[in-house]
Amino acid sequence: MDDAKASGPRIGITGSYGGLNLGDEAILEAILRPLRDDLRAEILVFSRDTKDTERRHRVEALPVRTMTKDESREVIKRLDLLVFGGGGILYDQEAQLYLREANLAHEQQVPVVAYGLSAGPLTKPHNREAVRESLNRFAAITVRDRHAQRLLQDLGIEVPVKLTADPALLLEPQPFPEETWQHEGLVRAKRLVGFSVREPGPAAPDLDIEHYHALVANAADFVVDRLDADVVFVPMERSRVDVQHSHAVVGKMEHATRAAVLKGEYGSGELLALFSRLEFAVGMRLHFLIFAARQNVPFVSLPYASKVEGFIEEMELPAPPVLAGLNAGTLLAHIDRSWDHRDSLRERIAAHLPKLQARALENEATVKALLALKRR
């Protein structure tokens, strides 16, 4: 592993890592790069699947969900810094679970930095209090969207909450060989449009599955008819149920023979490279939309959460109503207009993406500033 050559500070990273979600893995990859290249840091990642994290990122990983508090405490007390995040890990069902290592770091006087977080939904008083108490002891806090900034400030967080951007905006594509396209059966598609769905899950508990499956199936059929395109569903969470939900949507399509669900297991950089072949995208998951933007692919979002709305607002792109209030007619009209104006959408993405990438770099700068202060 690369850490064998480390000579710099000892840094722990805790978040939603362990191969469950390619968006989270993209975040981790983006966090790791400057720590390795610029700081030569010795890095430990608290992971839900240590083998996946070690294989995927060539870094030492610790089994966060099975470690006792005493075991975590022994590791944390030897750190110079704990990175908390990034991503949307502060929500009602699991906020206190994710905060455990941060609170142990507080006990050991190890500084903690929140790295490009999202937050919410946080409606339960005991969770709001736990977040407020813990984050008020952080050394620094950066968030990736204004919704999170406003929520944390409204909770009474007194540590300055700095607006940055998602670290995955800095991810670079990795090779996606031609034989892989053949394996996926996509080489003959003269026009390819990507789709993304997601499971309800703890971060999106109010999703109406029947409603959104029918909505997305209608949209995919419309794309086939209107654009004479093939569609490919891109599961961002293979180990959960994105694959099943993708197949369920395809099963509702009239033009199911023109649709495919991506079969292979890919790294975040490989998946990012795939987006270069798409002409258009329609999706729910945030990092699906971020990957589209990184490859300057015009897209239509299906906003189901504030983190998606926040990204669309930052890019100053048009968006349909939130998913719960969206009907097929409104969505298809929005897709139709967006396709007709795809060149202007590309121009808008190209104009706003560099600004967000510059803000994403401020996450790295915050970590470096804290470590420099600690060395004084």
Q: φ and ψ at 343, to 5 degrees?
A: -65, -40
Q: What is the pLDDT of residues 87-104, one digit of tens each?
A: 999 999 999 999 999 999
Measured CA to CA, the distance from residue 80 to residue 370 in angstroms comes to: 10
- Specify the pTM: 0.93
Q: Which residues of the chain have pLDDT under 50?
A: none
Question: What three-state secondary structure class fits 372?
Answer: helix
Q: What is the pLDDT of residues 225-261, one digit of tens each?
A: 999 999 999 999 866 688 999 999 999 999 999 999 9
Measured CA to CA, the distance from residue 289 to residue 283 in angstroms comes to: 7
CATH topology classification for 178-354: Rossmann fold (3.40.50)
Strand partners, 11: 43, 81
Lookup: tokens for 167: 């670290």
Measured CA to CA, the distance from residue 311 to residue 306 in angstroms comes to: 9
Q: Are 332 and 218 in contact (CB under 8 A)?
A: yes
Measured CA to CA, the distance from residue 61 to residue 118 in angstroms comes to: 23
pLDDT of residue 34: 95
pLDDT of residue 205: 65
pLDDT of residue 204: 67
Measured CA to CA, the distance from residue 21 to residue 43 in angstroms comes to: 21
Q: Are 312 and 290 in contact (CB under 8 A)?
A: no
Q: Identify the architecture of domain 2-163 in CATH.
A: 3-Layer(aba) Sandwich (3.40)
**Sign of the dihedral through C-alpha 266, 267, 269, 275:** positive
Domain locations in the chain?
2-163, 178-354
